[in-house]
Chains A and B, each alone.
Chain A
Amino acid sequence: MDPLVQALSLYRRRRYDKCVEVCGAILEKQPLDQAVWYLKMRAMTQRVYVDDLDSEEIPETDFLEDNAVATAPRPGTSMKTAVQPPTTALASRPRTATGRPVSGVARPGTQTRPGSALDRLKTARPITGQSARVIRLGTAAMLSQKEGPFIQVSRLNLSKYAKDPNLSKALFEYLFYHEGDIRNALELAVHATQSCEFKDWWWKVALSQCYVGLNMVRDAEQQLRSALKQHQHVEIFIRLSRIYQRLDQPLSAVDICKSGLEAFPKDVSIMTELARLHEAVHDTAPSIRFYRSIVIEDAMNTEAIASIGMYHFYNNQPELALRYYRRVLAMGAHSPELYNNLGLCCLYAQQLDLIYPCFQRALELAIDPLVKAEIWYNLSYVALTAGDVQLAVQCLNLCLSADASHAPALNNLAVLYHKTGKTNVAKAYLTSASTVDPNLPEPQINLEILLKD
């Protein structure tokens, strides 16, 4: 078989590693074969391609960064200052340690560590959304550098390639996703958009991706707006909405998504974006409305089903929540969080026989210590409802062994010790709880009461 045909076939079958190998072999013989060069570039890009729309983490409060215009926006107009839910039933809905509502599914941005912005940065986690991707892609680039890099980016005549409409886009994606070299990708995009006389919306989106990477959010906004004038595409709407989320203007993002829905009625991606946005500003009713519309369009959408389930759970309808979670389970999802939720639903729906099996499954599946801690914390609650204080204490201790900085667990332990008469131990636990999370009100209040006595 002709090696090029073989390589193409491999590429189509997504066997990118093999395809790269074959292409490399051809290129050794014919170093100037553009078709093979192109194919190898595509294959290498595809191998490491990440959907940067869904994996992008919007830094909630990024330090050294003040893209957001308002520092103290009116409640309800910002992700930082969400309104309190109106009904008391929903007020009990827990929040993450950073004050954001717990969402139905875990996705980037919904789980943040407690503490201030700078505290969070002191951990080994990536600093910004940008550097996260750069690090990830940087390692990917190293993998392929067995015999030196495939393309010497610094030697590339970018303005020459930018004029070639067939090569330029592939080269851009290679630079952006594979090399993680945003600056050169940007330069290529600038040349390319000039050479096509600013008529290709694709390049504008590409430019906006680069600008977002370099944290030049306003420039990205401009490019996307101009792209939107030329061509309406779901991706552009969502990217633009993300820009406004970065600028902490959720209402602008909602406006963009709504205009997107006018162009693409009932589009699931846009509706998901809208539902998440409303959830982020604690506007539960419209959020659930959008999740329900999503389910009508796409009955297999896990995120929507789980979110509706959670809504019912915190709305004192555990039976309904159970139905939704079982639906997720029936679709093949198999995660400790799901079993944990199922267990809790069973507890509240009085299906007592299923509580322990669910939690057992959850514990079996849990690998992440943080998740494990949460499950033990929930189990302690089950024990309390059964009236078994000893078991509850044990569960909480196990929770703390998995995650030593679990402030609610510390607080609850303190309360339990206080009940059993060990006031001094309780005080110690409360003090450590309030040092671990100074923003949690319960330990503070409890401590005050204890000190009063």
Chain B
Amino acid sequence: MDRLEKIIRPVFNFELDYKILPGLVTIGKYDGTHPCLTAGTATDKVLIHSPHKRNPSTAGRILSLESNKEISLLNINQKVGCITVGTIVPDDEKDILIVGTSSHILAYHVHDNKDVFYRECPDGVQSIAVGNFKDSKSPVVMVGGNSTIHGFDHLGNEIFWTPVGDIVTSVLFMDYDKDGTNELVVSSGNFNITVFKGDQRIAEHVETEVVTHLIALPENRFAYSVMNGTVGVYEQESRLWRVKSKHVATSVHYYDLLGQLNPQLITGWSNGKIDCRSVKTGEVLFKDHMGAGIAGIVEGDYRSVGKNDLICVSTSGEVRGFTTTKTLIGEENRCENDIVMELLNQKQVLLMELKQYEYNMRYNENAVNETETYENSGVIPANTRLQIAITTNSDTRNPHVEVFVATNNSTKIRAVTIFAEGIFKSESHVVHPSLSELSSEILVPLFLPKDNPVDIHVKAMVGYPKSIQYHVFEITRQLPRFSMYALKTNKGISKPESFVQFKINERLQRICMWINQNFLLPDDVEFNSGPNLIVNLLCLRDGTDLVMQFEISGKVTFYTTNIVLGSDLVQSLCSYLNIDHLESQANFPLQESKLKALLERLSSIQEARSKLTTDVADRLSQIKFLVIKAEDSRILDELKSMAENYTELHALNQELINGHNVRLQNYNEGVETMKEINAIIQHGSRLRVGPNSANAITQCRSCIKNNNVEGLMKIMRTGVL
């Protein structure tokens, strides 16, 4: 690596002298030609570094900073959540700065010092992207909030809305399915990456932790970074590679740093590391290190040489610029060396393996003759096999899915490691019984938190209690999507009141296939005859019932109290049967009453919020008054009244702090309520498929805007207003 570090040196390096918040770095051409580095500072301000400004005029009373004339600050007065730039105004090439705070979004024309639009986003602003979407001709500002995505045009009109289950951490426009138009890729707090095409969601990826950043790469790929330190690249459905680090990636960018024609993926980490990886393989090609954590990586023509530089900004305000290396010295030599090294390594590994096999073979030949058992020598019989069975267990107090691992002879299983995404707190789970309890079989209980198909990789270490070395058996199995549901015996069958009902034209045999593929049942379900097929299931998570009733006429009814399960079932069945239009009737009285209560709570919260805001504004004017009065008293040497004023000021300050806490509480409650409402709407829409689902969302939005609770209920039930 040392060798690599020496090849590329920064082409410029300077200090901003401001603390920069991670993730809040962007670059914009506010005058249409010159790029200006823009970053959010820790003091609720946005900093604009404009090195190309022609001699800043000294006319008037410019408040530009004494120390650095190149930096100007924008007051935002609220905590800056995210910043981005984009040309959103038609017929104007100048970049518009878009700043999102916890409650507002400001599109600001930096060059002309004027607002393009400023509007309230009660759902907060967590991420922003600008791009062309759907059939809109002008760019759309897509804003990800705490549980929704809003799209605005350049006048601030809302033109798109859709609920997402959790905080939207990143929004990205890219051509996902190679059809020449942009899709919206969204990562959210529930570990999902969702792809929207128009109003419809067309794909979903599940990660192990919250995805924090998304970036589009050429050739329809996109890279992502996860809270737990993973960085990876997707090409459509398939993940090309991923790596994990103990640090968190704070910024992802792509740039052709090494002059390889294809850009490389540049990642900035929270510990100040910058690394450059190959997009296709993830191999590290270059590394650098900055004094503080990386706040952001952008690119722009910062030296006015006609070519973009890669600009890295650290949280302490250090800026480092890199450019494409023209020729890598001794590249050919290096390639040869690398290949020789690699081949040598491979040879070493193969030799080791061969040696092992030879030893085993010799031993097995001798074993017949010798009296010593396998046990003493630590070698297992050649015919040892590992068997695995996955079943549901609903009899214990904590029902779960069981993985049963056993060997076919007297060998013992020392330990079992299970790798799977999203089931365990981290990625793997190890079971290692104490020496006295070793046996040739092991039961591993699994508690699946979500209804997702999961690949589990089981590695079992097989040997004898006294063995020093163990043999590792690897088995990969896929758990079906609805594993946590067990077939119910006849006793105590009850039908939940809530249901979702729809009609499909499909043979029951195919539905049986769907059931067998997606449920973990002891025996395959088969349909022989009769008017309908009824499957009674028990949810292992909460002990609720699930009754699936398929009538021969094509009518399908899922009885469950869980709307999430209902929508998951509908989506799964439809994608299996390739149905792209589905209208359904639903009845979830519990959810409906909850929705009603939530809406009421939300309106009361909002009312309280406006009152609290005015309270603060009122106190602020009193504070101003007191500060001046105190200052006047000081100048007049009236220490007594000065002290009085300051005491009063102190009390007022305390009041303000208390008020702030109340407001914070109110805000958090509001966010939570909003999130729950949006989740219900989302699940309600997922009870339908295709355009019907998108339609339901649009109508829900208009109902919420008009405060039409009854209409909302009707949409939940029937899918249309």
Contacts and interface: CB of A to CB of B under 8 A. Distances in A.
Interface stretch (A66-74, A137-145, A374-382): A66-74
B3 to A, nearest CB: 45
A84 B59 CA distance: 7
B621 A70 contact: no
B393 to A, nearest CB: 56
B51 to A, nearest CB: 14
B118 A216 contact: no
Nearest to A83: B59
A345 to B, nearest CB: 28
B42 interface: no
Interface residues of A, number: 49
B61 A81 contact: yes
Nearest to B104: A218
A80 interface: yes
Interface in A41-73: 63-73
Contact of B61 (A99, A118, A190): A99
B112 A77 contact: yes
B631 interface: yes
A70 B112 CA distance: 10
Nearest to B115: A252
Contact of A251 (B56, B113, B614): B113
Contacts of A65: 624
B512 interface: no
B60 interface: yes
B558 interface: no
Contacts of A187: 611, 614
Interface in B590-621: 610-611, 613-614, 617-618, 620-621
B621 A214 contact: yes
Interface string B52-66: 000011011111110
Contacts of B56: 72
A215 interface: yes
A272 interface: no
Contacts of B611: 187
Contacts of B656: none
Given A70-B72, A183-B614, A215-B621, A255 B114 contact: yes
A83 B113 CA distance: 14
B389 to A, nearest CB: 63
Given A131-B621, A183-B614, A249 B63 contact: no
A402 interface: no
Contacts of A131: 621, 624-625
Nearest to A121: B628
B60 A66 contact: no
A130 interface: yes
A66 B75 contact: yes
A400 interface: no
Interface in A216-268: 216, 218-219, 221-222, 244, 247-252, 255
Contacts of B59: 75, 81-84
A110 interface: no
B621 A218 contact: no
Residue among B61, B73, B76, B625 with the highest chain A CB neighbour number at 10 A = B61
Interface in B234-268: none
Contact of A69 (B106, B610, B614, B624): B106
Interface in B112-142: 112-115, 118-120
B620 A72 contact: no
B108 interface: yes
Interface string B647-690: 00000000000000000000000000000000000000000000
B74 A70 contact: yes
A127 interface: yes
Interface string A199-218: 00000000000000011101
A122 interface: yes
A397 interface: no
A284 to B, nearest CB: 15
A128 B618 contact: no
Contact of B113 (A74, A82, A190): A74
B617 A216 contact: yes
B655 to A, nearest CB: 15
A99 B627 contact: no
A214 B617 contact: yes
A215 B620 contact: yes
Nearest to A61: B61
Contacts of A222: 118-120
A114 to B, nearest CB: 12
A358 interface: no
Given A72-B72, A73-B113, A122 B632 contact: yes
B593 to A, nearest CB: 25
A341 interface: no
Residue among B61, B113, B618, B632 with the highest chain A CB neighbour number at 10 A = B113
Contacts of B60: 75, 80-82, 99
B77 interface: yes
A82 B113 CA distance: 12
A72 B611 CA distance: 34
Contact of A78 (B106, B113, B120): B113
A258 to B, nearest CB: 13
B623 interface: yes
B624 A214 contact: no
A344 interface: no
Contacts of A215: 617, 620-621
B113 A69 contact: yes
A75 B627 contact: no
Contact of B610 (A71, A75, A190): A190
A186 interface: yes
Contacts of B115: 69, 244, 247, 249, 252
A68 B60 CA distance: 17
A375 to B, nearest CB: 28
B75 A71 contact: yes
Interface in B276-314: none
A71 B63 contact: yes
23 contacts: A64-B620, A66-B77, A67-B75, A69-B108, A70-B72, A70-B110, A73-B72, A75-B57, A77-B112, A77-B114, A80-B62, A81-B61, A99-B61, A118-B631, A122-B632, A122-B635, A127-B625, A127-B628, A214-B614, A214-B617, A215-B621, A247-B115, A248-B113
Kindly list the 10 A-B residue pairs having the minimum CB-CB distance in the complex, ordered from nearest.
A77-B113, A72-B72, A252-B114, A72-B64, A214-B617, A73-B113, A66-B75, A81-B60, A249-B114, A251-B114
